Amino acid sequence: MRDRNFGKMDEETVSDYVERSRSLVESSPQMDEQNTRARLIDPFIRDVLGWDFYSTGIEMEYSVQMGSSKKKVDYALFADGSPAVFVEAKGCDTTISDTHADQLRSYMRQEWVDWGLLTNGKSFVVFRLRKDGGHPDVERLGEAELADLTANDWMLAALSEESIQSGTSTEIYQRVERRQNAIAALSEQKDEIAESIRETVVDQVGEVVSQPAESLSKTLVDDLIAELERDREDGTRPTTQTGAESPNSSSTTESDSAGKYGIQIGASGKTTGFSGDTQTEAMAAVVNFLISDHDLIDELSPLPFVPGEKNAMLHDQPVNPTGEEMRFYEEVGDGYYLNANLSKDAKKRQLRRFADACGVEISFDGEW
């Protein structure tokens, strides 16, 4: 169940914003903060999140008292007369850093503001204040690249004017946490859970089913995770999952580390590195490699590869089994289509599945 019931008009609004903004970024990748705010961030707050710039619900350059000095938050979005969301804006020419995140966290703690958004128009990072006792903490709740906004509609719902004013954003946060914790638990305890399922089936039916039950129980856990990933209301939180263990440190390495999202594939004592400026770019590079060098298509045959129930992750045409066109996809290999309409954690999970199918190791670094 989604946090927000996006109708067709909502989906079109987000898709139109994404396509228009991607075009602007491609034509002016070094856009400064002033132009980024006018061309990308103002429209995001107004058109996608639904906040009215001509009302008292938004205050620009909001003052926050920090010790003996005053600092300015780029945007403060109000509910019931108090700021409920702080938005810190950077230019497209600036890479979001931990320093920027810490700055926003300090503003949120000082004013006890529930939600924070840090964005340079290309990356969107969402924060949430945890009011545990008298010492509030701010957690990095999720993030998405511009191209992946439609796959992270929980973020849009949580920060929307409608949800903030109605209090629905708090319910979204609670559901995000519960589902994300469930995914993390299933991932971390996959082998133990699968073994418990196998033992239960064997106890009920007998040893004759032990071998097939062992394989199918692992598939069941994978399918459950995929189901939660597909419908989950959360985006990503880097601290909840780590990558697969790194390939042997003594292996030979070929590396491409130009982009901020790095992936390493290890096979036969050799590690090959890939990277991209976006998650989708890095993901597509790895899938191309697995298709050309490790027979990924044969390993997944017959296509489509559908780890859950509805959405194809890899197919020979850009459609899902339901006949619905993939919302966002990348063409890979020789006429194959990779579903890119995924959160960051979901992309990593699918890449692990592809690597497992090919019998190779995979690890992630950079901003994964």
pLDDT value of position 74: 98
- Beta carbons of 127 and 104 less than 8 angstroms apart: yes
pLDDT value of position 50: 95
Residue-averaged pLDDT of the chain = 86
Residues of the chain with CATH 3.90.1570.30: 8-166
Summarize the confidence of residues 201-210 as an average pLDDT.
91
220 confidence band (pLDDT: 50, 70, 90): confident
Q: Which CATH architecture has domain 8-166?
A: Alpha-Beta Complex (3.90)
Amino acid of residue 239? T
pLDDT at 259 over 60: yes
pLDDT > 90 in the chain, percent:
57
pLDDT value of position 219: 84
pLDDT in tens, 113-123: 999 999 999 99
Residues of the chain with CATH 1.20.1380: 242-366
309 confidence band (pLDDT: 50, 70, 90): low
258 confidence band (pLDDT: 50, 70, 90): low
pLDDT at 236 over 60: no
Structure tokens at 68: 């003996």
Q: In what order do the strands lie in the sheet with 329-332?
A: 314-315, 336-339, 329-332
238 confidence band (pLDDT: 50, 70, 90): very low
Q: What is the DSSP string of 187-213?
A: HHTHHHHHHHHHHHHHHHH-GGGHHHH
Summarize the confidence of residues 327-352 as an average pLDDT.
87
Give the pTM: 0.60
Task: Give the right CATH number for 242-366 from 1.20.1380, 1.10.530, 1.20.58, 3.30.310.
Answer: 1.20.1380
Q: What is the DSSP string of 138-191?
A: EEEEEEEEGGGGGGGHHHHHHHSHHHHHHTHHHHHHHHHHHHHHHHHHHHHTHH
Range among 216-220, 237-241, 263-267 rated most confident: 263-267
CA-atom Rg of the chain in angstroms: 22
134 confidence band (pLDDT: 50, 70, 90): low
Structure tokens at 267: 């096979």
pLDDT at 24 over 50: yes
Structure tokens at 137: 């903490």
pLDDT value of position 231: 55
pLDDT in tens, 160-198: 999 999 989 998 888 888 887 888 889 889 889 999 999
Beta-strand runs (E) in the chain: 58-66, 69-79, 82-89, 115-119, 123-130, 137-145, 252-254, 261-267, 270-276, 314-315, 329-332, 336-339, 361-366
